[in-house]
Structure 1
């Protein structure tokens, strides 16, 4: 696994987790822009269809605050980088 990737934080990891980075054998997408910019999303075991559709992720730091969600999905940057598509309540 690339050294830079190992130093990144995975979406959903606790802030006090001593090792919030990626795990060997897992598959990740980098989240680009928006409130979760720079985090990695674990997509291990996701179907091709689900990977094409992207994800709606819980976040308290988006436009709608606590209880809000943010949308990420594949974009022109490539399959390994998912771009922010907006926030939703």
Structure 2
């Protein structure tokens, strides 16, 4: 695991990297991001409907193939909605 991957692991997507408490919050629901540039981050899906979860997520990232302004695409696992698997990058 390189330094960037280690920095991301266990953190919440969208939280500031220097947040003193970057981990999960009580009372919130999370999906683990698996693979791709955001591997190891948790995505807060607390307020997502089942339909939104089924659609997956296009998450802004500077770490993907398209650099700043690009998106990493993640789809929920059909048998485990607590994990979103990377399916590619998009501009």
**TM > 0.5 fold call:** yes
Q: Who is 1:11 aligned against?
A: 13
State the 4+ residue runs in structure 1 displaced beyond 4 angstroms: none
Alignment equivalent of 2:54, drawn from 49, 52, 55: 52
Q: How many Å apart are 1:73 and its aligned residue? A: 1.2
Aligned partner of residue 12 in structure 1, secondary structure: coil
Instruction: Report the alpha carbon displacement of residue 77 of structure 1 after superposing the two structures with TM.
Output: 6.1
Task: Specify the alignment match of 2:64 in structure 1.
Answer: 62
The residue that corresponds to 2:22 in the other structure is 20
The Cα of 1:82 is off from its aligned counterpart by 0.5
Match of 1:4 in 2: none
Compute the RMSD of aligned alpha carbons.
Answer: 1.4
Q: Aligned residue for 1:3?
A: none
Per-residue CA shift, 1:18-75, capped at 9, x if unaligned? 0011110000000000000010000011111001111110000000000100110112
- Structure 1 stretches lacking a partner, 5+ long: 1-6
CA drift at 1:76? 4.8
Count of aligned pairs between the two proteins? 83
Query: What does residue 88 of structure 1 align with?
Result: 90
- The answer for unaligned runs of 5 or more in structure 2 is 1-8
Output aligned runs, 1:29-48, within 5 Å.
29-48=31-50
